Amino acid sequence: MADRRSQLVTRVRGMLGEALGATRTRLSTAQAELTTARERLTKVRRAAAVVPERVGAQRDRRLAEIADRHAARIAELARRAADAAQREAPGAASTDWTRWRSTPTRRAEPPGALRIGTVRIPGAEPVPALVPLLDAGHVELTGDDREGCDAVVSALLLRGVGRADPGAVRLVGYDPEHLGGGLAGFAPLGTAGLLTFVGPGGLARLLDDLVEQIRRINETVLAGEYGSLRELAAATGRRPEPWRVAVLLGGDELSRHERGQLDRVVRTGAACGVHLVVRGVSLPEDPTVTRVGAHADGARIGGPTGLPVRLDPPPPPALVTETCREVAARVNAGPAPTPFTDLLPPPEQMWREDSATGLTAPIGEGPHGRPVLLTLGDYPPHALIGGPSGTGKTNLIFAWIGALAARYSPSELEFYLLDFKEGVSFARFAKGRRDPSWLPHMRLVGINVNTDREFGLALLRFLAEELRRRADAAKKHEVTKLAELRAVDPTGHWPRIVAVVDEFQMLLAGRDVVAREAADLLEDLARRGRSQGIHLVLASQDVRGIEALWGRPALVAQFTLRIALPKALRILAERNDAAQSLPRHHAVVNAESGMAEGNQVARIPSASDWETWSELQHRLWRMRPQDAAPARLFDGDAIPRLADAPDHRALTAPETGHPRAPVALLGEIIDVQARSAALRLPRAPGRNLAVLGTRVDEACAVLDAAARSLARQHRPGTARFSIACLDPDADPAARSLYEDLADDAAWYDEETVGELMVEAAEGLATPGTPHYLLLFAVDAAAGALATRIGRRTGLEELRRILHDGPERRTHVLAWWRGVARMRADLGGPAARTDQIGAWVALDAHGGELGSSLYPGTGGPDWYPRPWRGLFFDRAVHRTGQVIIPYGPAR
């Protein structure tokens, strides 16, 4: 029992010891954990103490980053807003007053919004505060800050005037309180009609006028095609109407009628360029109305809760006055011409028009922005252009020619151009040294023909012959009009012809044969040319006193298309004075014979400067047909050369024998074609030539050209040229000819000329080789030829040669320095002159030639002028031909 107890005790003690050991172990572990926890608690408490400081720093850093990003974003948005404002209101529309100046835009472009102040953004540059006005809406000013309102009015008006094209903004002021004093700085605009004032009681009339302008623009300008002038300008590049800004500064309570008209202007005005800037007058609620409130505590755009702005100070008074004076001066000087390209079709549409029924092309822009068209056809068939020097007549002709040439190909249209005034502006249509291109439609260009009226007559003769040719073709095909002829004869060449004669009164001046025949031809061409597609365009600075034209009412009546430039006289009908008030670069176009009801005003583009025209001409030149030839250029101041003459280049020598009728070329005929005056020398009586006059160079030139052209028709050694020079002044030219003819020529002087006569006379008995006697100043050898050599004197031998020589291939080409001297050498005043079959008169007057040399009585109608001669061949001519002697060969 005791043992079990002891065992139990021992076991209990063991168990208690184990429990005590385990407890002590757990206690130790718990104490260690407690220590660790306390240490962790200490760390946590220590860390917890640090967290608020770190979180605060992080929070502050994040807030700073957000603030920086916000400020940068605000600055970027402000910069973008400033850039957008600059694009919307460039130049004068938004520049501050310290750097402000006028920066006009193109008329078709709206000036955009206008600055009245700035929007202040903290931390960013101020942004311009813009107000939409022109082509956008209306502005109403409210508030107790009178000076601020006045500053807004001045800023809007000056910026609008300075940004728009001069004259494109017109102001109307209604200021019953200060009687216009609020707009006094803009008074210089009144001198150009850009500013008008309406006095007290005139508001109703002002609003009525604005409503009428809106109605007119909607009906005649927009005409249902466009919704607004801004849309029209964007589509066409033209703005036909100015902006009209009515400034209403207070007044009495509006009547019912005035309120109704004001409401109409607000609703419909912006689309038609009619705008209101008002103070003291309430405008109705409308999207086009912008309200600016100016109060002592600040200004806002858009009402009491709108955008706060800081208003700009008013523009300096000197700046306002100076700007308005400059604008008025430019407007008074007249509007600038429109671009020439406005008249031209797109490149891909050039030469697409058909001229069968007529020619139609724009000449400029009308008051409503629509092109003014000129037509030449059955009606109107011909045109008359008038305007004083400097009003743009040549420019108008250039513009018209360019507009037509761009639309009609050379197979549809041909030009013949003649300029009687001194100048070479039309020479650019022909091939030149400076520019090898030419206008493919141009067939003839005559310049510097002020002394060569015969060239104008030659053109009319050429057109009359072409009219006859077309009329014959029409009869053959049993038709009457060009359109019908082209329809039945599509393979024929029947383009319309436009002949332009500038300063045409020179052709009709005087009462001589040239004027009478020219007037007759003009009347016939004007009457019958319309049906055959031949159209005349006559231009003049002033047509007063042209009896040959105005004395023929039937002729004038054919020119139903009249174009009057500023201050033109007697182009329009007697009581039609529309041209007297025209500005520069404008013309009155009238297709009703000048009657006032037919008036159209056109703004003519600038077309006559070299660069503008050259671009079009080069484009058309590159489009020319392969067989196109340059126009014939006749320059009255130029001396032609024999080597360049087509007739001279065509001369050749026969392979055997002699030419049947050699041709002596004497000079260039004043004619449409570049033909040579040719004297045929067959074996027939009288085939000799006399050159009459005292001009050495011209006489030598005629004989030189004759000899060289004859030599070209003979093979070397088959013809003889005997050159006798009896005037020392002619020696250089005669020597040059002698040297060039080489072995075929023989030289004689005063001492040996008698021997030449005897030798030539004796040679008549046995004719063989053609023999040409070239006698320079033969009358100077009168003494030597009076001496007998054998049975006869030299003069008697000369007369024998003249009489019998041509039938034996011996021809005399002689220069006498006077008609009387020639008669003396031929046997005296009563001597026969029929052995002189042809002559060229230089400075010999027509009356000197008499009936023995020229058919009829009194001699030819010939008045000498430098480097011109009158050629008459009794075997060919009815009247003389005016020629230009060919220039020296060397």
User: Residue 111: what pLDDT?
Assistant: 64
User: 475-513, pLDDT tens digit by residue?
Assistant: 999 999 999 999 998 888 899 999 999 888 888 877 778
Question: Does the pLDDT at position 547 exceed 50?
Answer: no
Structure tokens at 248: 């209403």
**pLDDT confidence of residue 550:** 59
Read off the pTM: 0.73
Q: Which residue has the higher pLDDT, 483 or 63?
A: 483
H helix or E strand, kind and range, residue 76: helix 2-88
pLDDT average, residue stretch 749-758: 88
CB 495 within 8 A of CB 413: yes
Question: For 429-467, how does the pLDDT look when each residue is reduced to its tens digit (9 = 90+)?
Answer: 888 777 788 999 999 999 888 788 888 889 999 999 999
In this structure, what DSSP letter does residue 199 have?
-
The confidence band for 335, taking pLDDT boundaries of 50, 70 and 90, is: low
* pLDDT winner (highest mean) among 396-410, 480-494, 559-573: 396-410
Task: Calculate the alpha carbon distances from 89 to 165, 246, 299 in Å.
Answer: 15, 21, 21
Under the banding of pLDDT at 50, 70 and 90, the label for residue 771 is very high
The yes-or-no verdict on residue 47 having pLDDT over 90 is no
| Percentage of the chain modeled with pLDDT above 70 | 94
Nearest 5°: CA angle at 721, between 718 and 723?
Answer: 170
pLDDT band at 81 (very low <50, low <70, confident <90, very high): low
Judge whether residue 82 has pLDDT over 70.
no
Each residue's pLDDT tens digit, 282-312: 889 999 999 998 888 888 888 777 888 888 8
> Can you list the alpha helix ranges (DSSP code H) found in 477-572?
482-488, 505-508, 513-528, 547-550, 553-556
Say how far apart CA 55 and CA 47 lie, in whole Å.
Answer: 12
Output the CA–CA distances (angstroms, integers) from residue 805 to 178, 827, 853, in the order listed: 105, 17, 20
* β-pair partners for 291: 140
Contacts of 608 (CB under 8 A, 6+ apart): 394, 395, 398, 425
**pLDDT over threshold 70, residue 42:** yes
- The segment with the largest mean pLDDT, out of 84-98, 288-302, 804-818, is 804-818
Q: What pLDDT is attached to residue 575? A: 86
Strand partners, 669: 883
Average pLDDT value for residue range 548-567: 80
Mean pLDDT of 839-861: 84
Preceding omega of 553 cis (within 30 degrees of 0): no
pLDDT tens string 584-621:
889 999 999 889 888 999 989 988 777 778 889 999 99
Q: What is the pLDDT of residue 275?
A: 94
Flag the least confident range among 72-76, 207-211, 262-266, 638-642.
Answer: 72-76
On the CB side of 109, CA atoms within 13 Å amount to 14
Q: Is 815 helix (H, G, I), strand (E, B) or coil?
A: strand
| Distance in angstroms (rounded) separating the CA atoms of residues 242 and 246 | 13
Neighbours of 52 (CB within 10 A): 9
**Would you place residue 148 in the very low, low, confident or very high pLDDT band (cuts 50, 70, 90)?**
confident
SS3 of 414, please?
strand
pLDDT for 869: 94
Instruction: Give the β-pairing of 127-131 and 138-142.
Output: unpaired
Which region among 112-126, 501-515, 553-567 has the lowest average model confidence (pLDDT)?
A: 112-126
Predicted confidence (pLDDT) per residue in 669-681, tens digit: 998 888 999 999 9
10 — pLDDT class (breaks 50, 70, 90): confident
* Among 236, 100, 222, 230, residue whose Cα is nearest residue 161: 100
From residue 258, how far is each of 253, 277, 408 by CA, in Å? 9, 16, 55
- Residues above pLDDT 90, as percent of the chain: 38
